[in-house]
């Protein structure tokens, strides 16, 4: 198989880039190792910046027909003090909310629209294992597709294969590890009439719980100290239920829904960034270039923004067969600042809020951080986290047209 662009990974970054390039007349193959888009929770937050991109593509009305739930505020509780942290209702965009939508619906939507273009191929169960190189340049990949080895040759290979990227490892790109003090145990609790309609974060000494309203259930993140999952598991489900009831007394009536520790799924958290996102013939974007912490729920959206920037810069050179290394460097140059600034904010919050909270002993006192107190005195300041979370740093706009 020979295409102009071979994209490894059918996550948010890969599917959006595949769709945009095919729409612009570039022949594309997206290779996804799973058989479908269904998998453990990886973030279902479609932020205003992504909704804007979908709007620019003329697909917003169709997109909003998919089942979703709107969130326009984020509240927190530190110890006994309840505070408002972000309010999206003032953003200068059409959709002033986060659309909570299962990620598989979002990816299936992009796949369905991609397939409308003859230049778009999506290969499922295609596990990329090697890069093909010639004359110091990446010129394709070797993948296991339904049990057989297949070679796909391309002018450009894009690694959009997430935090454990095979492409970046095989290319030998150097990674700066910024680190994270926490891991997350995910679980669900039923949503009941009268529950608050917002995203909530509860910070207490030794424990943090974040709850995302999914309409008929709550997606809950029990944040634990890095590497402590086995200890939490050994302490047993009763201890987890008691902690949740203490953090959110209103939910004590349903913690029995957690029957065993198997109802909690561990997702490890990491923050890192490639020093150089490309080498001749290949480029990394999304988590493969800069693995994001779940803080702010911005990872999907920054991956989408990378895809928009990459297609703006690369579509014409790829289509016209004149791709240069300088085009790949231009993508990194465009997206490095947003990735670096967002990760710096995540690391700041990890160090100032998450780590001290987790280091406390159960029952100890947690203070409202000064910056959050300021937001209560001056509500206009709540627009800043809303802007950063909702729109990101340097929002991208679709500059390509249907080819």
Ligand X SMILES: Cc1cc2nc3c(=O)[nH]c(=O)nc-3n(C[C@H](O)[C@H](O)[C@H](O)COP(=O)(O)OP(=O)(O)OC[C@H]3O[C@@H](n4cnc5c(N)ncnc54)[C@H](O)[C@@H]3O)c2cc1C
N-terminal to C-terminal alpha carbon distance within the chain: 22
Which residue lies nearer to ligand X by CB, 294 or 369?
294
* Maximum pairwise Cα distance, the chain: 65
Determine which residue in the list 23, 29, 42, 199 makes contact with ligand X, applying CB under 6 A: 42
The least distance separating ligand X from the CB of residue 365, rounded to whole angstroms, comes to 28
- Listed in sequence order, the residues at least 6 apart from 24 whose beta carbon sits closer than 8 Å to its beta carbon are 311, 315, 316, 319, 400, 401, 402, 403
The least distance separating ligand X from the CB of residue 293, rounded to whole angstroms, comes to 7
How far apart are alpha carbons 242 and 362 in whole angstroms? 11
Site string for ligand X, 160-179 (x = CB under 6 A): xxxx--x-------------
Determine which residue in the list 55, 204, 287, 396 makes contact with ligand X, applying CB under 6 A: 287
Determine which residue in the list 297, 369, 392, 395 makes contact with ligand X, applying CB under 6 A: 297
How far apart are alpha carbons 332 and 289 in whole angstroms? 9
34 binds ligand X (CB under 6 A): yes
Determine which residue in the list 3, 5, 6, 8 makes contact with ligand X, applying CB under 6 A: 8
Which residue lies nearer to ligand X by CB, 127 or 257?
127
Number of other residues whose CB lies within 10 A of the CB of residue 128:
27
396 binds ligand X (CB under 6 A): no
The least distance separating ligand X from the CB of residue 35, rounded to whole angstroms, comes to 10
Assess contact for 10 and 286: CB atoms under 8 A.
no
The least distance separating ligand X from the CB of residue 106, rounded to whole angstroms, comes to 11
Report helix, strand or coil for 82.
Answer: strand
How far apart are alpha carbons 242 and 246 in whole angstroms? 6
The least distance separating ligand X from the CB of residue 367, rounded to whole angstroms, comes to 26
* Residues 153, 155, 160, 163, Cα dihedral to 10°: 80
The least distance separating ligand X from the CB of residue 374, rounded to whole angstroms, comes to 26
Length of the chain equals 403
Interface positions with ligand X (CB under 6 A): 8-14, 31-34, 42-43, 45, 126-128, 160-163, 166, 184, 267, 269, 286-288, 292, 294, 297-301, 303
């Amino acid at each position: 198989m020979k295409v102009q662009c071979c994209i490894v990974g059918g996550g948010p970054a890969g599917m959006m880039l595949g769709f945009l390039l095919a729409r612009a007349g570039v022949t594309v193959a997206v290779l996804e190792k799973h058989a479908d888009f269904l998998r453990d929770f990886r973030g279902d937050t479609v932020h205003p910046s992504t909704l804007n991109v979908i709007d620019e593509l003329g697909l917003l009305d169709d997109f909003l027909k998919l089942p979703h739930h709107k969130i326009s505020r984020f509240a927190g509780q530190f110890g006994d003090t309840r505070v408002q942290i972000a309010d999206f209702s003032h953003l200068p965009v059409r959709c002033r909310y986060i659309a909570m939508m299962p990620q598989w619906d979002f990816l299936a939507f992009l796949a369905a629209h991609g397939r409308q273009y003859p230049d778009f191929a999506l290969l499922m169960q295609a596990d990329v294992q090697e890069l093909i190189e010639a004359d110091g340049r990446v010129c394709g990949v070797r993948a296991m597709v339904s049990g057989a080895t297949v070679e796909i040759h391309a002018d450009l290979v894009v690694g959009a294969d997430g935090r454990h990227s095979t492409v970046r490892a095989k290319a030998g790109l150097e990674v700066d590890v910024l680190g994270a003090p926490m891991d997350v145990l995910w679980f669900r609790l039923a949503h009941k009439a009268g529950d608050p309609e917002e995203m909530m974060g509860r910070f207490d000494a030794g424990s943090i719980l974040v709850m995302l309203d999914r309409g008929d259930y709550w997606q809950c993140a029990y944040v634990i100290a890095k590497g402590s999952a086995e200890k939490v598991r050994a302490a047993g489900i009763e201890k987890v239920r008691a902690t949740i009831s203490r953090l959110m007394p209103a939910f004590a009536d349903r913690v029995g829904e957690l029957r065993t520790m198997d109802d909690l799924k561990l997702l490890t958290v990491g923050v890192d960034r490639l020093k150089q996102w490309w080498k001749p013939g290949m480029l990394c974007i999304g988590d493969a270039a800069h693995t994001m912490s779940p803080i702010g729920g911005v990872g999907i959206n920054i991956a989408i923004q990378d895809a928009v920037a990459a297609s703006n810069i690369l579509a014409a050179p790829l289509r016209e067969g004149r791709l240069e290394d300088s085009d790949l460097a231009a993508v990194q140059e465009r997206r490095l600042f947003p990735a670096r600034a967002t990760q710096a904010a995540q690391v700041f919050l990890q160090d100032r809020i998450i780590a001290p909270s987790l280091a406390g002993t159960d029952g100890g006192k947690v203070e409202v951080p000064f910056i959050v107190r300021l937001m209560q005195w001056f509500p206009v300041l709540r627009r800043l986290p809303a802007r950063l979370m909702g729109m990101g740093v340097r929002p991208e706009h679709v500059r390509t047209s249907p080819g």
